[in-house]
């Protein structure tokens, strides 16, 4: 059995979709659906069972292995970079992840854990996934810190010799619609452009970056799950591993790509950045992808314009923008 925590969430549901494409249906989805629309991400997918995250935690900490898992893809977490409840983030992201890791290690299951590029903070030390840099990083928000604490624990206990803890950069694509303010700018822009004909981006507060010139390493969700599948199949690939493209593009590039995919002329308005995030804002992210390439992953990454075009035309413009394993 494959277990996917956060299996109704963004990266989680995409991973279930990828597993289905590879002929894997014996999947346990773990999540907390509550009153959200996340359940819609599951409708077109094939899996054996669903379990609430609290029940899953109770079972894996009870002693005997109740699932016989071959692999655990641990994507479940609170991913809000603006969450202020630090105790909640510690319980939900750090402590929970330690329990999942212990379960996987005790039972010989391959573990892929979702870390985050938010652990790199302002990027003053660069974006290398070299373990030697780990203790020097200073995340800018509590979400990033909760992920960082797990990575530090995994290094200290030796778990990084066996698991893969993946630092995702700016992921976008189908399956993210339940995330509200945490949706990618591609999804937000599509809605905004349809409603107003224009797109808003933040002004820059650093001279070396023009308005909308702040840069991110944008990666398409389909590329992410291709990498996750490869990591499941290559258990020797362990440690902290960046998942981005290695190329930084501006928000202006992203905006123009969305307009182009919608067949419209770009109309961008620059607005003030909220004061509360100005001192925590990352102006550049760019994944160092040398480690993953050295491990043997050789597939190319989808270019930004092509990925945005696929997302807009294949999902956002269809009126039914959820991943559908039956269509591909």
DSSP 101-150: HHHHHHTT-EEEEEEEGGGGTT-TT-S---GGGGGG---SSHHHHHHHHH
Length in residues, the chain = 328
Residue 143 bears catalytic tag: yes
- CB under 8 Å to 318, separation ≥6 — which residues? none
Using a 10 angstrom Cβ sphere, with 0-12 exposed, 13-18 middle and 19 or more buried, the burial of residue 221 is: buried
| Strand pairing report for 215-216 and 249-250 | antiparallel
Helix orientation angle between 304-311 and 251-261, rounded to the nearest 10 degrees = 40
Closest CA to 117 of 204, 228, 244: 244
Check 103, 143, 177, 315 and give the catalytic one: 143
Backbone angles phi, psi at 14, to 5 degrees: -65, -35
Residue 165's CB: how many other CB atoms inside 10 A? Answer: 26
For 248-308, give the secondary structure using H, E and C.
CEEHHHHHHHHHHHCCCCCCEEEECCCHHHHCCCCCECCCCCHHHHHHCCCCCCCCHHHHH
Task: Indicate which residue of 18, 179, 188, 291 is catalytic.
Answer: 179
Burial class (CB in 10 A: 0-12, 13-18, 19+), 33: middle
State the chain's maximal CA–CA distance in angstroms.
60
Can you tell me the distance from the alpha carbon of 202 to that of 213, in angstroms, rounded to the nearest whole number? 9
Q: Report whether 111 contacts 163 (CB < 8 A).
A: yes
Q: Is 175 left (phi over 0), alpha (psi -120 to 50) or beta?
A: left
Residues with catalytic function = 143, 179
């Amino acid at each position: 059995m494959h277990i996917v925590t956060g299996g109704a969430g963004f990266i989680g549901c995409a991973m279930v979709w990828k597993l289905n494409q590879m002929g894997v249906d014996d999947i346990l989805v773990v999540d907390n659906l509550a009153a959200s629309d996340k359940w819609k991400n599951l409708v077109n997918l094939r899996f054996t069972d669903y379990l609430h995250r609290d029940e899953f935690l109770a079972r894996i900490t009870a002693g005997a292995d109740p699932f016989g898992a071959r692999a655990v893809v641990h994507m479940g977490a609170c991913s809000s970079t603006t969450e202020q409840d630090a105790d909640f983030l510690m319980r939900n992201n750090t402590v929970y992840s330690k329990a999942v890791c212990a379960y996987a290690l005790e039972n010989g299951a391959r573990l892929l854990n979702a870390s985050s590029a938010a652990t790199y903070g302002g990027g003053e030390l660069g974006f290398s996934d070299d373990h030697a840099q780990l203790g020097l990083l200073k995340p800018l928000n509590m979400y990033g810190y909760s992920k960082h604490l797990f990575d530090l624990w995994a290094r200290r206990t030796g778990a990084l010799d066996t698991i893969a803890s993946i630092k995702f950069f700016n992921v976008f694509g189908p399956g993210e619609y339940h995330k509200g303010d945490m949706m990618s700018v591609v999804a937000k822009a599509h809605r905004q452009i349809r409603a107003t004909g224009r797109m808003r981006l933040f002004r820059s507060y650093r001279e070396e970056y023009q308005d909308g010139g702040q840069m991110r390493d944008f990666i398409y969700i389909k590329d992410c799950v291709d990498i996750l599948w490869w990591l499941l199949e290559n258990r020797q690939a362990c440690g902290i591993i960046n998942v981005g493209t290695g190329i930084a593009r501006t928000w202006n590039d992203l905006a123009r790509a969305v307009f182009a995919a919608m067949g419209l002329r770009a109309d961008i308005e620059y607005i003030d950045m909220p004061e509360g995030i100005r001192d925590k804002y990352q102006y550049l992210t760019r994944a160092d992808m040398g480690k993953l390439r050295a491990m043997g992953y050789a597939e190319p990454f989808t270019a930004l314009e092509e990925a945005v075009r696929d997302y807009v035309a294949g999902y956002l413009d269809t009126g039914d923008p959820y991943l559908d394993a039956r269509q591909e």
